């Protein structure tokens, strides 16, 4: 099967699985959402105490373990690291704040749209704008530098953490939180969620599914490959929602969403900017971490820390809208990331001029111009 058919198939299965999860108990238009589910996991661990978003989501655990297994079988597991880990943490942190102002990751944006939520269209427009904002930095020499092979044991640490989360979920010790109300109280049966996650992980690893990457590759290279996957998710989830009577077109009263267009746009734009700088959306970061990339694992920790802060400090949006603190956080996020990207570009350009003056050989970093 050629790559394009494979990613269309993978996208279709993703769409179907998301509808299935909602049918069996997950929140509406949230069959699968990397941002929301990472946020729920931080709640389940007690790192944030919003009572409505606490559950160690098996979908995420399954996704990582499925991608890990697929990487092992395909011999694509490689322990890499050392590419600006702390900067990636910050990018993940800020991206999560943007996503929680919108209320979803790119994957959920597609699923919300498939449910008729037109606010998602505003968010997707923001995502495209954010990716477009980030691309000039890439062209001007933005690079987080090379990852190098590391001691193989490092690559298993992230998977080990995920297995530990799974043990906590199954053993249910007293210090683990389970929401009894709100979105995180709505959950498909554990075995189903875990199984769906595993399958989704295998598919995402094999196809490198990534929505931010799809938009980026289209703008940079006119390459549709990754976008096919998301169009497939949209079409299948849309059909599923129509069949099950879950489709409701409009802006107002959409499940776990608000209709503040400006902040839907800006939240997702901030996230899109971060994605393009860190090399992929949250889904891709999880898969990459499962493949042994320790920088991506740090990015995931940044996403989780961002989620914890977003809820502990009242930055996250709710159906009621975006709090003033959340709006301020998005604007500060833009200032931080644009400044950071500017200085990274500048340092790379200076380093390149120095190396061009000397011998222009060896692993001198990405030579973009």
Nearer to another protein, 260 or 295 (CB): 295
Instruction: Quote the CA–CA distance of 261 and 43 in Å, as a whole number.
Output: 27
Is residue 123 within 8 A of residue 265, CB to CB? The reply is yes
Residues 327-366 that bind another protein (CB under 8 A): 362-363, 366
Instruction: Quote the CA–CA distance of 360 and 102 in Å, as a whole number.
Output: 45
- Report the interhelical angle of 106-114 vs 119-139 (nearest 10°): 150
Q: Rule CB under 8 A: is residue 34 a binding residue for another protein?
A: no
Give the phi and the psi of residue 250 in degrees, each rounded to 5.
150, 180
Among 98, 213, 267, 306, binds another protein (CB under 8 A): 213
Nearer to another protein, 26 or 288 (CB): 288
Among 23, 49, 139, 172, binds another protein (CB under 8 A): 139
Which of 253, 302, 294 has the alpha carbon at shortest distance from 275?
302
Contact stretch for another protein (CB under 8 A) within 143-151, 253-261, 262-270, 333-341: 143-151
Nearer to another protein, 49 or 146 (CB): 146
Strand duo 80-81 + 148-149: pairing? antiparallel
User: Nearest approach, Cβ of 154 to another protein (angstroms)?
Assistant: 15
Q: Rule CB under 8 A: is residue 74 a binding residue for another protein?
A: yes
Q: Rule CB under 8 A: is residue 136 a binding residue for another protein?
A: no
Residues 251-290 that bind another protein (CB under 8 A): 278-280, 288
- Residue 250, Ramachandran bin (φ over 0: left; ψ between -120 and 50: alpha; else beta): left
Q: How far is CA 109 from CA 172, 303, 361, 366, in A?
A: 31, 17, 44, 33
Instruction: Quote the CA–CA distance of 290 and 66 in Å, as a whole number.
Output: 9
Instruction: Quote the CA–CA distance of 306 and 98 in Å, as a whole number.
Output: 9
Q: Tell me the number of residues near another protein by CB under 8 A.
A: 37
Instruction: Quote the CA–CA distance of 274 and 134 in Å, as a whole number.
Output: 8
Residue 47 is classified by DSSP as S
User: Nearest approach, Cβ of 2 to another protein (angstroms)?
Assistant: 10
User: Nearest approach, Cβ of 273 to another protein (angstroms)?
Assistant: 15
Instruction: Quote the CA–CA distance of 164 and 171 in Å, as a whole number.
Output: 10
Q: Rule CB under 8 A: is residue 106 a binding residue for another protein?
A: no
Q: Rule CB under 8 A: is residue 5 a binding residue for another protein?
A: no
Nearer to another protein, 40 or 295 (CB): 295
Q: Rule CB under 8 A: is residue 25 a binding residue for another protein?
A: no
User: Nearest approach, Cβ of 305 to another protein (angstroms)?
Assistant: 21
User: Nearest approach, Cβ of 92 to another protein (angstroms)?
Assistant: 14
Site string for another protein, 169-208 (x = CB under 8 A): ---------------------------------------x
Q: Rule CB under 8 A: is residue 217 a binding residue for another protein?
A: yes
From the number of C-beta atoms within 10 Å of its C-beta (0-12, 13-18, 19+), residue 243 rates as exposed
Among 39, 216, 311, 352, binds another protein (CB under 8 A): 216
Residue 148 is classified by DSSP as E
Instruction: Quote the CA–CA distance of 334 and 274 in Å, as a whole number.
Output: 9
User: Nearest approach, Cβ of 361 to another protein (angstroms)?
Assistant: 9
Q: Rule CB under 8 A: is residue 92 a binding residue for another protein?
A: no
User: Nearest approach, Cβ of 38 to another protein (angstroms)?
Assistant: 20
Q: Rule CB under 8 A: is residue 294 a binding residue for another protein?
A: no
Other Cβ atoms closer than 10 A to 253 = 10
Give one DSSP letter per residue of 281-293, joined into a string.
-HHHHHHHHHTTB
Nearer to another protein, 68 or 102 (CB): 68
User: Nearest approach, Cβ of 337 to another protein (angstroms)?
Assistant: 17
For the chain, the helix, strand and coil percentages under 3-state DSSP, each to the nearest 5: 65, 0, 30
Other Cβ atoms closer than 10 A to 103 = 34
Binding residues for another protein, rule: CB under 8 A, are: 3, 74, 76, 78, 80, 82-83, 138-139, 143-149, 208, 213, 216-217, 220-223, 225, 278-280, 288, 291, 295, 362-363, 366-369
């Amino acid at each position: 099967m050629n790559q394009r058919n494979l990613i269309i198939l993978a996208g279709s299965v993703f769409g179907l699985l998301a509808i299935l999860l909602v049918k069996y108990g997950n929140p509406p238009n949230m069959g699968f959402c990397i941002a929301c589910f990472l946020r729920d996991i931080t709640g389940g661990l007690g790192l944030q105490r919003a009572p409505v978003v606490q559950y160690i989501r098996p979908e995420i655990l399954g996704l990582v373990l499925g991608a890990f297994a697929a990487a092992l079988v395909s011999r694509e597991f490689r322990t890499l690291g050392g590419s600006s880990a702390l900067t990636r943490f910050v990018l993940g942190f800020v991206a999560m704040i943007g996503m929680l102002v919108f209320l979803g990751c790119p994957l959920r944006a597609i699923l919300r749209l498939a449910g008729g939520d037109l606010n998602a269209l505003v968010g997707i427009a923001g995502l495209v704008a954010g990716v477009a904002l980030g691309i000039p930095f890439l062209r001007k020499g933005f690079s987080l530098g090379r990852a190098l092979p590391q001691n193989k044991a490092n690559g298993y640490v992230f998977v080990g953490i995920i297995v530990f989360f799974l043990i906590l979920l199954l053993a249910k010790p007293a210090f683990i939180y389970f929401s009894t109300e709100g979105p995180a109280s709505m959950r498909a049966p554990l075995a189903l969620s875990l199984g769906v996650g595993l399958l989704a992980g295998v598919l995402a690893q094999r196809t490198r599914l990534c929505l931010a990457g799809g938009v980026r590759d289209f703008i940079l290279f006119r390459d549709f490959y990754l976008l096919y996957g998301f169009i497939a998710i949209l079409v299948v989830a849309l059909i599923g929602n129509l069949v099950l009577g879950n489709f409701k077109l409009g802006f107002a009263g959409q499940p776990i969403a608000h209709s503040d267009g400006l902040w839907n746009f800006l939240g997702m734009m901030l996230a899109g900017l971060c994605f393009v700088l860190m090399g992929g959306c949250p889904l891709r970061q999880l898969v990459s971490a499962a493949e042994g990339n320790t920088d991506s694992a740090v990015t995931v920790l940044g996403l989780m820390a961002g989620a914890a802060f977003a809820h502990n400090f009242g930055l996250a949006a709710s159906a009621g809208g975006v709090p003033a603190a959340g709006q301020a956080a998005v604007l500060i996020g833009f200032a931080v990331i644009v400044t950071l990207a500017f200085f990274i570009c500048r340092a790379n350009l200076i380093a390149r001029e120095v190396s061009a003056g000397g011998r222009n050989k060896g692993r001198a970093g990405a030579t973009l111009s």
